[in-house]
Amino acid sequence: MKFRRSERLIDMTNYLLEHPQQLVSLTYFSERYGSAKSSISEDLAIIKETFEHRGIGTLQTVPGAAGGVKYQVRVTEEDARPIIDQICELIASPNRLLPGGYLYMTDILGDPMLVKQVGRLFASAFADKEIDVVMTVATKGIALAYAVANYLNVPVVIVRRDSKVTEGSTVSINYVSGSAKRIQTMVLSKRSLEQGSRVLVVDDFMKAGGTVNGMISMLEEFNAELVGIAVLVEAEKAEERLVDDYLSLVKLSDVDVKEKKINVSHGNYFTNKLVEGHS
């Protein structure tokens, strides 16, 4: 079947967006559309220019016989600011205050479009890091982890608080909860993470970082490498931060239950070196 150029551009764009971080050869596109490689190269140049102009991402060209093109998501600071502003505004709403000073976050983590945007922001920051797996802990961080993994085109690994029969044999570790200072347990199926994997840890909320630190300890059991940590919200007033190097979108500085005030600001997303090169 012979494609018109307009059809080819649309289909090629869709293919690249659905296969992020995947190297696609010019030969594949040439055979897919029955077109000369020179025509494919011209089409890719148009797509690359449009992606970068519209803030969709970029196309990396890999030269050589085994080369091709790879789509990577990129979010500029100009595009990222309104997204983080929106999240800050949502979290600052007094209506989400719960007894004990807790915050209701289910609506935010259940909003597919918002979670997708968060996934783009995190994936943009770590797109160059050769990540094999995105890891999170059950349950609230799962939606975020899948959103990030979708743009990085890698699987998700979920650490659980207790073992399930369907997980098979597991590795179990004890860790100290950063805020409550309690000994807690987390488990991970032996089949879910390959030895030596490069892992991005994603979580929805971080106080002192005890849970994240527990996941880092879990990685050691699999001889896996921690590539980075990304959290949606960090609590500013943590007595003893157990994790230093992380990326955050929102910083929660104070919760006044009596006055029903939630003070939030931007996290370190715009000051982190991971993001500077993509702004």
> What pLDDT score does 1 carry?
66
Q: Average pLDDT in the 240-260 region?
A: 87
Phi, psi of 91 (to 5 degrees): -70, -30
Do residues 175 and 186 touch, judged by C-beta distance below 8 A?
yes
Helices 77-91, 112-126: inter-axial angle, 10-degree rounding? 130
17-59 confidence digits (pLDDT tens): 999 999 999 999 999 999 999 999 999 999 999 999 999 999 9
Choice among 110-124, 211-225, 264-278 with the minimum mean pLDDT: 264-278
Q: Can you tell me the distance from the alpha carbon of 253 to that of 266, in angstroms, rounded to the nearest whole number?
A: 10
pLDDT of the residue at 148: 98
pLDDT at 279: 44
> What is the per-residue pLDDT for 102?
84
Res. 250: pLDDT tops 90 = yes
Judge contact between 250 and 266, C-beta under 8 A.
yes
Q: Mean pLDDT throughout 159-188?
A: 86
Using pLDDT thresholds of 50, 70 and 90, give the confidence band for residue 237: confident
> Quick one: pLDDT at residue 276?
54
As given in the structure block, the two tokens for residue 141 are: 């961080």
How many Å apart are CA 268 and CA 279, to the nearest integer?
Answer: 14
Residue entry with tokens 């527990």: 214
Residues 137 and 123: their CA atoms lie apart, in Å, by 18
Which of the given ranges, 144-153, 155-164, 238-247, 259-268, has the highest pLDDT on average? 144-153
Instruction: Tell me what pLDDT residue 236 has.
Output: 81
> What does the mean pLDDT of the chain come to?
92
Half-sphere exposure in the Cβ direction for 128 (13 Å, CA): 12
At residue 165 the predicted structure's pLDDT band, cuts being 50, 70 and 90, is confident
Q: From CA 105, how far away is CA 97, in angstroms rounded?
A: 10
Residue 25: name the closest of 73, 72, 71, 66 by CA.
66
Mean pLDDT over 184-202 rounds to 95
141 close to 122: Cβ distance less than 8 angstroms:
no
Please give the average per-residue pLDDT across 8-25, as a whole number. Answer: 97
Q: What percent of the chain has pLDDT over 90?
A: 76
What is the rounded distance in angstroms from the CA atom of residue 172 to the CA atom of residue 161? 9
**Secondary structure (3-state) at 48:** helix
Q: Is 65 a residue whose pLDDT tops 80?
A: no
Residue 205 has pLDDT above 80, yes or no: yes
Q: What is the pLDDT of residues 81-127, one digit of tens each?
A: 999 999 999 999 999 998 877 899 999 999 999 999 999 999 999 99
